[in-house]
């Protein structure tokens, strides 16, 4: 099912939206049958905060068909873990072309992150889509508009919005962008 189904269900929620609820909805709406989570101290958070792996895979990371594993950097603060986990869950909505499901496709994605002159791969585009989908999933539109109006009136700060949604404060400015709705519409 498309991301629009999750987006519509999010509109019925009140922030802070539970990560468990989001995970369960993703499982209900997509081909993903289960999601495992693993924290590791081996990820350098300067270059990566987490990643999404979809089965089937054999050991050392055994995953059944349609089972997913989200690996998160252990050093992430709570709001970062929540955002990164949600962003990685959004890869369940990637098209087959966008999936980084081979070593070559993963390398394309990583190389693009380090080379601004590289062609934009479908995998890199999927990263951007997952980011915006995560923002839209963590804040229903009615609440986003209320936060935007309160910010414009000087009644609330991005730090307070970030704390209420339990997302990194630096991403609140993206949530309040004038073109946010237009961006999300293109992702549905």
Q: Where are the domains of the chain?
A: 3-187
Is the distance from CB of 171 to CB of 162 less than 8 angstroms? yes
Q: What is the pTM of this model?
A: 0.89
Distance CA 131, CA 137 (A): 10
For residue 3, the SS3 value is helix
Q: Which residues contact 148 (CB under 8 A, 6 or more apart)?
A: 176
Tell me what pLDDT residue 58 has.
84
Tell me what pLDDT residue 145 has.
98
Note down pLDDT in tens along the chain; length 188 residues.
Answer: 799 999 999 999 999 999 999 999 999 999 999 999 988 877 777 767 888 888 888 887 888 999 999 999 888 999 999 999 999 999 999 998 888 776 676 766 666 666 677 777 888 889 999 999 999 999 999 999 999 999 999 999 999 999 999 999 999 999 999 999 999 999 98
Q: What contacts 24+ positions apart, CB below 8 Å, involve 21-24? A: 22/86, 22/89, 22/137, 22/138, 23/89
Tell me what pLDDT residue 103 has.
66
Q: Which residues contact 27 (CB under 8 A, 6 or more apart)?
A: 33, 34, 35
Structure tokens at 56: 């089937």
Tell me what pLDDT residue 102 has.
66
Tell me what pLDDT residue 163 has.
97
């Amino acid at each position: 099912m498309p991301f629009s189904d999750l987006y519509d269900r999010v509109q019925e929620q009140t922030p802070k939206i539970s990560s468990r609820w989001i995970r369960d909805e993703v499982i209900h709406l997509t081909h993903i049958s289960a999601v495992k989570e693993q924290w590791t101290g081996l990820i350098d958070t300067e270059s990566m905060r987490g990643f999404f792996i979809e089965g089937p895979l054999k050991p050392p990371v055994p995953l059944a068909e349609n089972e997913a594993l989200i690996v998160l950097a252990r050093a992430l603060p709570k709001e970062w873990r929540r955002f990164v986990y949600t962003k990685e869950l959004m890869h369940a909505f990637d098209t087959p072309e966008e999936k980084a499901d081979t070593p070559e496709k993963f390398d394309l994605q990583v190389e693009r992150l380090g080379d601004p002159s590289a062609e934009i791969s479908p995998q890199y585009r999927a990263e951007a889509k997952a980011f915006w989908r995560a923002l839209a999933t963590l804040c229903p539109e009615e609440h986003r508009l209320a936060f935007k109006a309160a910010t414009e009136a000087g009644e609330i700060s991005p730090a307070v919005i970030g704390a209420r949604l339990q997302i990194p404060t630096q991403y609140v400015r993206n949530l309040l962008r004038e073109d946010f709705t237009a961006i999300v519409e293109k992702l549905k």
